[in-house]
Chains A and B, each alone.
Chain A
Amino acid sequence: MSNVTEVATTLALDLSRIPKEEVNDAKTDVAEYIVNEILRATSKGKSPVKGETFKTLTEAYADKEKGGSKRPNLRLEGDMMDDLGYTLLRDNLVKIGIEGSQAPKADGHNQISEEAKQWSSKTGREKYKRRFIPAEGQEFKANILSGIQGILDSYRTEPISEGVEIIDSPSTSGSFETVDAIGVDINNIFNDTNLELFLLDALQKRSKVNGF
């Protein structure tokens, strides 16, 4: 195992037109989203990194450790993925990754450091590279990048344009409703005004396609 103390990637976010007082919220929102996307992808045996795939587990290993499931979810004891986190750095930077005692294990899976690369080459384990943190020159998959874009866009102030503009902000927040069941109803997003906006959006898209 390598001696690295951190396996991480640093992203520079486009924070243009985001009000200063909301920059930290936007960075936190993005960082949390990326961490969740990494957890989601890996739990399904998929790499969140563009161009990377996870090789399925060998039958012997799957039988011994995973109850027969060959899906590589990078969770044996769970300690490594539990340590996946983020740090907000200066300006427009956020760091996503694993620091501390779990970093060597993460490096072994990601095969990012020279040490890890040499070790995997020596032991013939290159084929078991399961990269969930992009190395230099790599990036997250397109769906994650577009999710990041969407989050940042939701914080941006829009320049005043000439056409008609309708802006609203539905959210999925709820209110505590019941005692016996733990429930929430997220009806803000479903109110008449917001649903009309969704319909208009669909109409616009249809008109673009069909030349309405």
Chain B
Amino acid sequence: MGFELKVNKSTAKLLDTANIGSLVPRLRQEFSKTGPKKFRRDILDDMNAGVSPVKGKRWAKYSDSYKKAINTPRIKRLATGSKLTSPVNLRLTGKLWESLSTKTTPTFFSSWRLIIAFDNFLADIHNRRGASKRKVVRRLLPTLPNEEFNRGLTNKLVSYIKLAASTVVKDFR
């Protein structure tokens, strides 16, 4: 996702006098209030729609044998949703979903970080090792070099940062 900014003359003038860098910790703090939580919701919304959070990594369909297997009454009782086979949402028991967390490190750390993680062994199976005998990989997070979140998620994240930035500069002189 490219982010492009053209600075007009009045802002350029402002740049000469303002110490914009001093606002960065406040921006991180403002973003931390709601951004990570909203972004978590966005990732789960995408998964619910059968959309891979990772750009260019569309999820493979469930195999016919798997669909048949999970459409039994015993498995249905375990399931969190009414429909198991559609879309591919990796939500049979819901434990994988529940394990997704987004958090930020304290803003006073110079190496401030937004961390997005699944804390469930199934994540590693889907994301890297591959599920079932066929070893089907369905990417959950862009953990490999050159991978990134899909456009929709990146746009959402950018919009949350922009929202936080507009709050921070509201009383900036």
Residues in B with CB closer than 8 Å to A37 are 152
Q: Is A145 an interface residue (CB 8 A)?
A: no
Nearest CB on B from A119, distance (A):
24
Q: Of all chain B residues, which has the CB nearest A203?
A: B169
**Whole-angstrom distance between the alpha carbons of A164 and B9 in the complex?**
7
Residues in A with CB closer than 8 Å to B124 are 179, 182
Q: Is A89 an interface residue (CB 8 A)?
A: no
Q: Which of B85, B86, B114, B166 contacts A186 (CB 8 A)?
A: B114
B1 close to A82 (CB less than 8 A): no
Nearest CB on A from B11, distance (A):
5
**Whole-angstrom distance between the alpha carbons of A181 and B122 in the complex?**
10
A207 close to B83 (CB less than 8 A): no
B5 close to A82 (CB less than 8 A): no
Residues in A with CB closer than 8 Å to B123 are 181-182
B51 close to A39 (CB less than 8 A): yes
Contact of A206 with B49 at beta-carbon distance under 8 Å, contacts A183-B118, A195-B27 already known: no
Q: Which of A75, A174, A183, A201 contacts B5 (CB 8 A)?
A: A201
Residues in B with CB closer than 8 Å to A189 are 157-158, 161
Interface size on B, residues (CB 8 A): 77
**Whole-angstrom distance between the alpha carbons of A150 and B154 in the complex?**
12
Nearest CB on A from B124, distance (A):
5
Q: Is B98 an interface residue (CB 8 A)?
A: no
Q: Is the interface of B mostly helix, strand, loop or mixed?
A: mixed
Nearest CB on A from B142, distance (A):
5
B87 close to A171 (CB less than 8 A): no
Q: Of all chain A residues, which has the CB nearest B18?
A: A203
B24 close to A200 (CB less than 8 A): no
Nearest CB on B from A31, distance (A):
11
Q: Is A19 an interface residue (CB 8 A)?
A: no
Q: Is B170 an interface residue (CB 8 A)?
A: yes
Per-residue CB contact flags for chain A residues 87-102 toward chain B (1 = under 8 Å, else 0) read 0000000000000000
Per-residue CB contact flags for chain B residues 14-53 toward chain A (1 = under 8 Å, else 0) read 1100001101100110000000000000000110111100
Q: Which B positions have Cβ atoms within 8 angstroms of A?
A: 1-12, 14-15, 20-21, 23-24, 27-28, 45-46, 48-51, 55-56, 58, 61-62, 67, 81-83, 85-88, 112-119, 123-124, 127-128, 140-155, 157-158, 161-162, 165-166, 168-170, 172
Q: Which A positions have Cβ atoms within 8 angstroms of B?
A: 28-29, 32-33, 35-37, 39-40, 42-44, 66-69, 75-79, 81-82, 147, 150-151, 153-155, 158, 161, 163-187, 189-190, 192, 194-207, 212
| A-B contacts besides A67-B83, A186-B149, A195-B27, 10 pairs, CB < 8 Å | A32-B58, A35-B58, A40-B152, A66-B82, A182-B141, A184-B117, A186-B116, A190-B161, A196-B24, A202-B165
